[in-house]
Amino acid sequence: MKYISLRFSRRIAVSLVILYLVSLLVALSSTLGINRITRELNDLYYQHFQPTIILGSITESLYQQHNKIEELLLAPDLLTNNILNKQIVLDNGHIDSLFQEFTHFMRVRGEDALLKEFETDLSLYRKQYHVIMKLKSNDEQDSAYHYLKNTLSKTFINTVDPLHKLTNSEKRAGLLLYKDAEKSAYYIKLVSFMVIGINLLLAISLGIYLAINILNR
């Protein structure tokens, strides 16, 4: 009788150890999975979401600046002309600052070439702006406006095009990270449900086993 009782106790102990190990396994798996999701979401925000915002700010600033250049050519007086010119100079500083901030982030394949393309086109765009200012200062208003429509505007389109491509590149990279995080969350949920099911089966089996042994005593 004592031997049966000892064997019965051992089986209970083994069952409890199994339940504990399974619970420990799911806890460890969930922790690792959550850490991975946290890392991926941090990468999504700091390496792709923030750069996308910066690129959007650069693009918006360039569009606003281009509109100011058009307004500058139609400025009715010297005061308006000077105000717009100062704003354009400030825009250049703001755009350069945002661009430098963007270069500090990690970049995916192909983005370095787009950055160089943007820098080249932006430099040309600013040189052409000075051509317009020189024509305007020489009272060649029609020539300046013609140069803006036929030359500067085309360069402007070429300048913002790499920005749109960079933005799409960052969005694609961010979407991949998001899908990875989503997949990790799905696996954590799946493992959790599986372990809960296993624990329930073990608990039910243990309960039945205890009931049978008690009834047989």
- 126-173 pLDDT, tens digit each: 999 999 999 988 888 889 989 999 999 999 999 999 999 988 887 777
- Specify the pLDDT at position 2: 43
CA-based nearest residue to 49, from 217, 181, 187, 199: 181
Dist CA 39 CA 177 (whole Å): 10
- Specify the pLDDT at position 214: 63
- Specify the pLDDT at position 4: 46
- Specify the pLDDT at position 52: 84
State yes or no: pLDDT of 8 exceeds 60. no
CA-based nearest residue to 66, from 160, 178, 183, 169: 160
State yes or no: pLDDT of 9 exceeds 50. yes
Predicted confidence band of residue 16 (pLDDT cuts 50, 70, 90): low
- Specify the pLDDT at position 197: 72
State yes or no: pLDDT of 185 exceeds 70. no
Q: Which residue has the higher pLDDT, 67 or 42?
A: 67
Average pLDDT, integer, range 98-102: 90
Q: What is the mean pLDDT of the chain?
A: 79
- Specify the pLDDT at position 98: 93
State yes or no: pLDDT of 13 exceeds 80. no
Dist CA 186 CA 22 (whole Å): 19
